[in-house]
Amino acid sequence: MAVPVQHVSCPPFMDQRPGTSGLRKKVRRFAEPHYLAMFVQAIFDGVGELKGSTIALGGDGRYFNREASAIILRMAAAHGIARIVVGQGGILSTPAVSNIIRARGLKGGIILSASHNPGGPEGDFGIKYNVGNGGPAPESVTEAIFALSQRLTGYDILPESAGSIDLDRLGTQQLGPLSVEVVDPVADYAALMEKLFDFGRMRAWLKTNRILFDAMHAVTGPYATEILVRRLGAPASSVINAVPKPDFGNHHPDPNPAHAEELMARLWAADAPALGAASDGDGDRNMILGPKLAVTPSDSLAVLAANATLVPGYAKGIRGVARSMPTSRAADVVAQALGIESFETPTGWKFFGNLLDADRVTLCGEESYGTGSDHVREKDGLWAVLFWLDLLAATGKTVPSILAAHWARFGRHYYSRHDYEALESAKANDIMGDLRKRLPDLRGRHGIELADDFRYQDPIDGSVSEKQGVRLVFADGGRLVLRLSGTGTEGATLRLYIERFEPKTGRLDLEPREALADLIALAEELIGIKRLSGRRQPDVVT
């Protein structure tokens, strides 16, 4: 029976340019008639031939996840996509999508998430496309999608009368010509973790030590429960906020000290567990805590690189490390000591894909609580937690002692990020523009050796990305970096990154605030965010 594809005419939406990680807008915007469908059509038309192929679909369970999934399935059927692998309930973490694409050799996948952004009807929604290597579409593809979105005159969809898919029922169902396989979101991912880490050793460690994992009412709840509780034998109370909610329990699912209050309080209490951790909305970020101690994400990457061979998945050693430009240079120092390559890329996981595919790097990281490896092509929150857990189990050491030993060997990169959120866009652009103009004058003053706007040339395919953030690099190794966020949905967010290197012979036990005080003051003198924005302090300090 011929399927009655419906063509819906609609003028294009002009605001569908993907940012650092997909298209993010208020739910309100996404729920406007045709808005989501038009962007999905731009994806289908912009990523290459999808007709007859199989793709993955899953989201972080936030508000609008189900509605969006249903629309995408009907559009996929109309577009001639042969098969879709979708997580039960429409749910898959971002790293799980990446794994499914890779493990099953799929053409790509669609992820419904605005990651760490708040959810609920008044919150944010997002959508992004991952390509066949399992990673976020590169800029060439996202720009092609954007260009198409501005020219579209409509989209194709199966009418609702064509039927619907029960996303809660495991197994294969049919929607017109499209077959839809509803899979357990956790199984494949958990199996992958068992290949990388020593589950027996971790199980033994958990008999005498405690972990506390905060799923922040986001997607990792079921993953953490399956892996930490069922497979590793930790008590059920080890996972808090474990039930995913469409509004994340009204919280900001952003695993940092500012947003994971309950977890922080537990780790600062007298009977703190040995390891504390949290993940974000879509499960790709991680925060690592020890008793009364938060591990800076940049340090976490460096520690994992330095100790990788202790873990089965990396026992043969790592090829190289990559970090985003604003991430501290702690990992570079480790790479140098190990005699392996290190790379500096623009912000956003999509820039690691080529390096991973070419086997130039094994570990990657971002200061924004993102760490990952070549096991998938996304950052992976729970993976990072298991890596730390396995390190603790392998060494019998504590989080504070691992860090202290690391700094004593490599020196310490004191680090902090100051976010000024929801600034008036014009004002934020002025602050950036003004600094850019003054870069030539800043060189040579205040010990500034390099003052530029980061430009990246991909070492594998030669593609160039300009204006990826202004950096002021000091002769003593310190750095100030300023860039505009590409994930916000309200006004503009400025991020100021502050870094100072203390050699191993120096003071390694200062509070970052204290260690960075002079640089923070200098940043205000040179850039003047507070002066020019009228804000008294940053909204979030991590």
Residues that bind ligand VG1 (CB under 6 A): 20-21, 115-116, 280, 284-285, 324, 347-349, 366, 368, 370, 485-487, 495
Of 497, 529, 534, 486, the closest CA to residue 415 belongs to 497
Q: What's the closest the beta carbon of residue 335 comes to Co ion, in angstroms?
A: 25
Q: Which two tokens stand for residue 290?
A: 């020890």
Q: Tell me how many residues contact Co ion (CB under 5 A).
A: 5
Element (H, E) at 389: helix 381-395
Comparing CB distances to ligand VG1, the nearer of 20 and 371 is 20
Instruction: List the single partner that 238 binds among Co ion, ligand VG1, none, CB under 5 to 8 Å by kind.
Output: none
Q: What's the closest the beta carbon of residue 480 comes to ligand VG1, in angstroms?
A: 16
Answer yes or no: are the C-beta atoms of 90 and 69 closer than 8 Å: yes
115 sits near Co ion (criterion: CB under 5 A): yes
Instruction: List the single partner that 416 binds among Co ion, ligand VG1, none, CB under 5 to 8 Å by kind.
Output: none
How far apart are alpha carbons 365 and 334 in whole angstroms?
13
Select the residue whose beta carbon is closest to ligand VG1 and give its number.
115
Q: What's the closest the beta carbon of residue 239 comes to ligand VG1, in angstroms?
A: 20
Which range touches Co ion (CB under 5 A), out of 146-154, 276-284, 349-357, 445-453? 276-284
Among 284, 332, 374, 380, which residue sits at the site for Co ion (rule: CB under 5 A)?
284
DSSP symbol at 369: T
Element (H, E) at 496: strand 492-502
- 261, exposed or middle or buried, with CB in 10 Å at 0-12, 13-18, 19+? exposed
Q: What's the closest the beta carbon of residue 64 comes to Co ion, in angstroms?
A: 17
Q: What's the closest the beta carbon of residue 397 comes to Co ion, in angstroms?
A: 29
Instruction: List the single partner that 283 binds among Co ion, ligand VG1, none, CB under 5 to 8 Å by kind.
Output: none
Which range touches Co ion (CB under 5 A), out of 47-55, 107-115, 228-236, 303-311? 107-115
Beta bridge partners of 470: 453, 482
60 sits near Co ion (criterion: CB under 5 A): no
69 classed as catalytic: no
How far apart are alpha carbons 453 and 473 in whole angstroms?
11
Of 302, 295, 300, the closest CA to residue 321 belongs to 302
Query: Of 93, 98, 115, 279, which is the active-site residue?
Result: 115
Of 147, 133, 10, 125, the closest CA to residue 62 belongs to 125
Comparing CB distances to ligand VG1, the nearer of 273 and 297 is 297
280 sits near Co ion (criterion: CB under 5 A): yes
Number of H-type helices and E-type strands within the chain:
18, 26
Full 3-state SS string of 103-144? HCCCCEEEEECCCCCCCCCCCEEEEEEECCCCCECCHHHHHH
Select the residue whose beta carbon is closest to Co ion and give its number.
115
Contacts of 379 (CB under 8 A, 6+ apart): 94, 95, 284, 285, 286, 349, 364, 365, 366, 370, 371, 372
Q: What's the closest the beta carbon of residue 379 comes to ligand VG1, in angstroms?
A: 7
Comparing CB distances to Co ion, the nearer of 273 and 281 is 281
Which range touches Co ion (CB under 5 A), out of 179-187, 273-281, 322-330, 423-431? 273-281
**Position of tokens 């396995």?**
390
How far apart are alpha carbons 404 and 390 in whole angstroms?
18
Instruction: List the single partner that 495 binds among Co ion, ligand VG1, none, CB under 5 to 8 Å by kind.
Output: ligand VG1
DSSP secondary structure of 232-245: T---GGGEES-S--
Q: What's the closest the beta carbon of residue 486 comes to ligand VG1, in angstroms?
A: 4
Comparing CB distances to ligand VG1, the nearer of 72 and 364 is 364
Q: What's the closest the beta carbon of residue 487 comes to ligand VG1, in angstroms?
A: 3
Comparing CB distances to ligand VG1, the nearer of 495 and 500 is 495
Comparing CB distances to Co ion, the nearer of 285 and 329 is 285
Instruction: List the single partner that 347 binds among Co ion, ligand VG1, none, CB under 5 to 8 Å by kind.
Output: ligand VG1
Q: Which two tokens stand for residue 39?
A: 């962007």
470: three-class secondary structure by DSSP: strand
Comparing CB distances to ligand VG1, the nearer of 411 and 486 is 486
Among 124, 198, 282, 419, which residue sits at the site for Co ion (rule: CB under 5 A)?
282
Comparing CB distances to ligand VG1, the nearer of 378 and 502 is 378
198 sits near Co ion (criterion: CB under 5 A): no
Element (H, E) at 193: helix 187-196
Instruction: List the single partner that 486 binds among ligand VG1, Co ion, none, CB under 5 to 8 Å by kind.
Output: ligand VG1
Amino acid at 25: K
Composition of the chain by helix, strand, coil, percent to 5: 35, 25, 40
Active site (catalytic) residues: 115
Chain residues in the site for Co ion (CB under 5 A): 115, 280, 282, 284-285
